[in-house]
Structure 1
Amino acid sequence: MTDLFSKFDPLIQQRADLLATGVTDPFNLVMEKVLSPTVAMCNGRKTILLGTYNYMGMTFDDDVIAAGKEALDKFGSGTTGSRVLNGTYQGHKEVEEALKEFYAMDHAMVFSTGYQANLGIISTIAGKGDYVILDIDSHASIYDGCKMGDAEIVAFRHNDIEALEKRLKRLPAEAGKLVVLEGVYSMLGDVAPLKDMIRVAKENGAMVLVDEAHSMGFIGEHGRGVAEAQGVIDDVDFIIGTFSKSVGTVGGFCVSNHPKFEIMRLVCRPYVFTASLPPSVVATAATSIRKLMHGSNKRAHLWENSKTLHKGLRDLGFTLGTEEPQSAIIAVIMPDLEKGATMWEALLEEGLYVNLARPPATPAGMTLLRCSLCAEHSSDQVGEILARFERAGKRAGIIG
C-alpha cells in the first residue's frame, strides 16, 4: 500500500535535521499571554512582537474590544450558518457598509478569511476558457483561486511591466482576461508598480484585481492602499483585503464598483458554502475600519518606524530585501535555513519575535527573517529592536 505521506518525506527530514541542531521549532511558537499589540509572553519571557501583521495596532483598541463584547452579549458566539441562509446579521451588513465608505465603492462582500476572499472571487469570475495573468510571486491563495476556477494561468516575472505586457499581447483578444496583482508583496515588503501595470492591463482588454492585504490602513492618503497612493484606484475592478492585518481581527473582503457584482453572493462557492463570521468578529472589524478612516497620525508614525528600522538594520550590516523602506514589512535575508533558524532563536532569546520564512514560500529560494512593524511600536521600542538585532546578529555570526 502506498503511504500518502511519502511525498512529504524530504520536508520531514529537513525539519528533523533542523531540530536536531537544538534550535526551538520556529514554526510552533506559543504565546502564553499577549499584553499589547507589541508585547507578549513567549517561553516565559516578555517579548517584543515584530512579526504579527498588526500594522495599525488595533487588536487592543478600547472601542474595538467594547464593540466585540457588546455583540457577543447581544447576538451570541456564532451564526451557525452561511450568509445566504441564516448567517447574515446586522453586523455583517454594518461591516460591509463600513468597507464601502472606507473605499468609496459601491459594493462590498465579506468572507470568513482573506484566503477565502481570493479563492472565491478569482475562481468565480475566471473560469474555463478565461486567462488569469499573475505575478509569479503571488500569494498561495491567489494560485489556489486560479486552480479552483479552472482558468488558464499565465505567470510573469515579479513586478516586470514589460513581461506583463508581452504575456497579455500573446493571448486571444476575445478571451476573458483577469490581471491579478498585489499592492505590497508579503515576503520582501516591496510595492508593485500598479500605475503602469493597470494601464497595460486595460490597454489589452483585461480586468484588474489588486490584493491590498498588506497595504490597507496605512498606505495611501486614506489608507486605501497602493492603488490609491499611485492614483489608479478608480481603474481597479476588484480590491481584495483582509481583516487579519491592519483591521486587527479575522475575515476577508472584496470591494468593487462593477454594476453586476451583487450576483457574486449567489455564485461564489467559498461565500455560499461557508459559515459566516461570528457577530463579535464583524463588530470589531466594523469599529476598527471606521477608526482607520481617521488614522493619519498613526500612518505617519508607522512610516517613521519603518524608515528608522530599515536604516538601522542596513547600517548594522544586515542584507535587506529592499533598497529603501516601501511598506511596514522589512525582510532580513539569511544565508540559509540553518543560519536563519539560529538567528531567529537568538532574537527570541533576546526577547524579540520575528517570522522565519523559508522556501517555497519565499522568492528565489531565499531564507529570510520578516519584520512587520506596528503603529503602536514606540520610538524607544524600535531602538531596542535594533540593539537586540545587533547582539543576536553577532552571536549568530550574521554580522561582524
Structure 2
Amino acid sequence: MSEGISQPDRPQEMQGADHGAHADLFSKFDPLIQQREQLLAAGIEDPFSLVMEKVISPTRAICNGRDTILLGTYNYMGMTFDPDVIDAGVNALRDFGTGTTGSRVLNGTYQGHRDCEDALKEFYGMDHAMVFSTGYQANLGIISTIAGKGDYVVLDIDSHASIWDGCAMGKAEIVPFKHNDIEAMEKRLKRIPEGAGKLVVLEGVYSMLGDVAPLKEMVRVAKENGAMVLVDEAHSMGFIGENGRGVAEEQGVMDDVDFVIGTFSKSVGTVGGFCVSNHPKFEIMRLVCRPYVFTASLPPSVMATAATSIRKLMHGSNKRAHLWENSRTLHGGLKALGFALGTDTPQSAIIAVIMPDLERGAMMWEALLTEGLYVNLARPPATPANMTLLRCSLCAEHSEEEVQTILGMFERAGKAVGII
C-alpha cells in the first residue's frame, strides 16, 4: 500500500478485497447462462451458434451437413453472389491489398472509399455521404456526435441497440415514446425546454416485427417542434420506395429528413454503415465523430463490392417487385396456416412469427432446421413486449417454388411442435 493512505480511509469494497471476497463480474449473466443450459439440457441445438459449412447461393447453404433454405439472413436483394459485385471485390483485392491498416482521417481513405460515398450520394440524391466500418458504428457515431450533453434525443421505445448506445455515448437526455405513437412523440417534444437542441430518431422498418413507421406524420410533427430528424433505413434500403431509398422516400418526406443512416450488411450484401445528409456543415463530422476517427477503415475490396452493389440497386425495380410478391405470399400463407404474425399485413421483407414462449420457440426453430429451413430465433430483451419470435427475412432471389416449400416446412414443424 502506498504511503499516505491510511486503512480506514479506503473504500469498503477495497477493504473487503483484502480477505478474498472478490465480486464475480460475470454473476450478472447467471440467469441467461441458466436459461441457455436449460435449453441445451432439453436436447435443443443452440440457436445462436449455427455454423454454415458452405454457402451455395443467397438463399441456400449447407448447415449441419444438410442443404438448407436461408430465411434469416437479411440478404434482401440477394446481392452477395452477384457476379459484377464479386468481380469488383476480387479486382480491388488484387490492386489494393487486403486492408488499409489505418483510420479514414490518416492513411485509411483510398479511392474506393470516395467512390463508395459518391455511389451513396447518387443513390440518395444527397450532397454528403460518410461511410463507417459498420452500421452499428454509423448510429453510434452520428447520434453521439450531434446530440451531446444538454441536448435531447426523442426516440421510439423499440429503437435498435445501436441507437440507444449512441444516445448513451453522447450523454444527451433520452426521451423515449411508445412505439409508432405520433401523439406520444408530440407530447414528449412539447415538454422539452425552449431553446434546447432536439433530435428525433426513427426507423423506417423496425427489425423485430418488420413493421413500418408513420414517417410522414412523425417528420411533420418533429419539424413543427423545431427538431432535427434522423431516420435509420437499414431494413428498407433497396426495396421500399420507388428508387429503393426507403420508407422516407415512399412516404414523401426525404427532403425533410436531416440524416439517413443505413448499412451495407442487408440489401447491399456486404459489410459497413453510412450516413447521408444535405446539412451544409456535415463534412465537419469527419473530424469530430469518434467512432469514425478512431477506427480502421473498411478494406478496399469491401468498398468496391458496396459501390458496385449500390449502383446496381438503382436499377433493381424488377427485383423489388419480386421481393414484394414473396412477402405477400409468405405472409398470407403463414396466416392461413394459423400462425400469429407480427403485422396484420405484409409491410416489409421481414415476417415475424410469434411463439408462445422461448422453449417452444426454440423447439420450433430446431424443427424447422431439421426440415431444412433456417430462420432467426429472437428473444427478450431484444424483442418488444417480451415476445419470442421466429423472424423470417425474405430475399429477392427466393423463387416462387422455394416460398411454397417454406410454407410446407412451417406447416409440418408447427404441427409437430403443437404451435398450430
* TM-score, with structure 1 as normaliser: 1.00
Does residue 176 in structure 1 map to residue 197 in structure 2? yes
Does residue 59 in structure 1 map to residue 76 in structure 2? no
Name the SS of the counterpart of 2:240 in structure 1: coil
Name the SS of the counterpart of 1:178 in structure 2: strand
Does residue 200 in structure 1 map to residue 218 in structure 2? no
Deviation at 1:303, TM superposition (A): 0.2
In the alignment, what sits opposite 1:349? Answer: 370
In the alignment, what sits opposite 1:224? Answer: 245
The aligned amino acid for 1:293 is: M
Does residue 278 in structure 1 map to residue 291 in structure 2? no
Q: In the aligned structure 1, how far is the partner of 2:141 from the partner of 2:155?
A: 16
In the alignment, what sits opposite 1:268? Answer: 289
In the alignment, what sits opposite 1:40? Answer: 61
In the alignment, what sits opposite 2:41? Answer: 20
Deviation at 1:393, TM superposition (A): 0.5
Does residue 248 in structure 1 map to residue 269 in structure 2? yes
The aligned amino acid for 1:280 is: S
In the alignment, what sits opposite 1:297? Answer: 318
The aligned amino acid for 1:191 is: V
Tell me the percent identity: 85
Deviation at 1:113, TM superposition (A): 0.1
Deviation at 1:228, TM superposition (A): 0.1
Deviation at 1:317, TM superposition (A): 0.5
Q: How does 1:136-215 map to 2 (within 5 A)?
A: 136-215=157-236
Output one character per residue of 1:66-93: Cα deviation in whole Å (capped at 9) or x when no partner: 0000000000000000000000000000
Name the SS of the counterpart of 1:82 in structure 2: coil
Output one character per residue of 1:337-381: Cα deviation in whole Å (capped at 9) or x when no partner: 000000000000000000000000000000000000000000000
Q: In the aligned structure 2, how far is the partner of 1:267 from the partner of 1:191?
A: 32
Match of 2:341 among 305, 315, 320: 320
Contact 1:129–1:151 (8 Å) recurs in 2: yes
Q: Which runs of 5+ in 2 are unaligned?
A: 1-21
Q: In the aligned structure 2, how far is the partner of 1:372 from the partner of 1:233?
A: 25
Deviation at 1:7, TM superposition (A): 0.5
In the alignment, what sits opposite 1:7? Answer: 28
Q: In the aligned structure 2, how far is the partner of 1:360 from the partner of 1:233?
A: 32
Q: In the aligned structure 2, how far is the partner of 1:42 from the partner of 1:271?
A: 36
Q: In the aligned structure 1, how far is the partner of 2:113 from the partner of 2:192?
A: 39
Q: How does 1:66-85 map to 2 (within 5 A)?
A: 66-85=87-106
Output one character per residue of 1:140-164: Cα deviation in whole Å (capped at 9) or x when no partner: 0000000000000000000000000
Q: Which runs of 5+ in 1 are unaligned?
A: none
Task: Kindly tell me the number of residue pairs found equivalent between the two proteins.
Answer: 399
The aligned amino acid for 1:211 is: D
Deviation at 1:18, TM superposition (A): 1.0
Q: In the aligned structure 2, how far is the partner of 1:335 from the partner of 1:392?
A: 15
Q: In the aligned structure 1, how far is the partner of 2:362 from the partner of 2:237?
A: 30
Name the SS of the counterpart of 2:46 in structure 1: coil
The aligned amino acid for 2:369 is: L
* Structural RMSD (CA): 0.3
Output one character per residue of 1:83-124: Cα deviation in whole Å (capped at 9) or x when no partner: 000000000000000000000000000000000000000000
Larger radius of gyration: 2
Output one character per residue of 1:39-81: Cα deviation in whole Å (capped at 9) or x when no partner: 0000000000000000000000000000000000000000000
Name the SS of the counterpart of 1:63 in structure 2: helix
Q: In the aligned structure 1, how far is the partner of 2:132 from the partner of 2:415?
A: 45
Contact 1:189–1:322 (8 Å) recurs in 2: yes
Q: In the aligned structure 2, how far is the partner of 1:82 from the partner of 1:283?
A: 18
Deviation at 1:207, TM superposition (A): 0.1
Name the SS of the counterpart of 2:24 in structure 1: coil
In the alignment, what sits opposite 1:366? Answer: 387
Does residue 382 in structure 1 map to residue 403 in structure 2? yes
Q: In the aligned structure 1, how far is the partner of 2:89 from the partner of 2:194?
A: 49
Name the SS of the counterpart of 2:226 in structure 1: coil
Deviation at 1:326, TM superposition (A): 0.1
Does residue 86 in structure 1 map to residue 107 in structure 2? yes
Q: In the aligned structure 1, how far is the partner of 2:165 from the partner of 2:309?
A: 29
Q: In the aligned structure 2, how far is the partner of 1:202 from the partner of 1:31?
A: 46
Q: In the aligned structure 2, how far is the partner of 1:165 from the partner of 1:300?
A: 35
Does residue 29 in structure 1 map to residue 50 in structure 2? yes
Name the SS of the counterpart of 1:74 in structure 2: helix
Name the SS of the counterpart of 1:79 in structure 2: coil
Contact 1:216–1:223 (8 Å) recurs in 2: yes
Q: In the aligned structure 2, how far is the partner of 1:83 from the partner of 1:285?
A: 17
Deviation at 1:319, TM superposition (A): 0.3
Name the SS of the counterpart of 1:192 in structure 2: coil
Name the SS of the counterpart of 2:175 in structure 1: strand
Contact 1:97–1:108 (8 Å) recurs in 2: yes
Q: In the aligned structure 1, how far is the partner of 2:409 from the partner of 2:102?
A: 47
The aligned amino acid for 1:83 is: R
Contact 1:242–1:250 (8 Å) recurs in 2: yes
The aligned amino acid for 2:196 is: A
Name the SS of the counterpart of 2:119 in structure 1: helix
Deviation at 1:173, TM superposition (A): 2.0
Q: In the aligned structure 1, how far is the partner of 2:48 from the partner of 2:161?
A: 18
Contact 1:173–1:205 (8 Å) recurs in 2: no
The aligned amino acid for 1:253 is: F
Q: In the aligned structure 2, how far is the partner of 1:330 from the partner of 1:48?
A: 16
Deviation at 1:296, TM superposition (A): 0.1
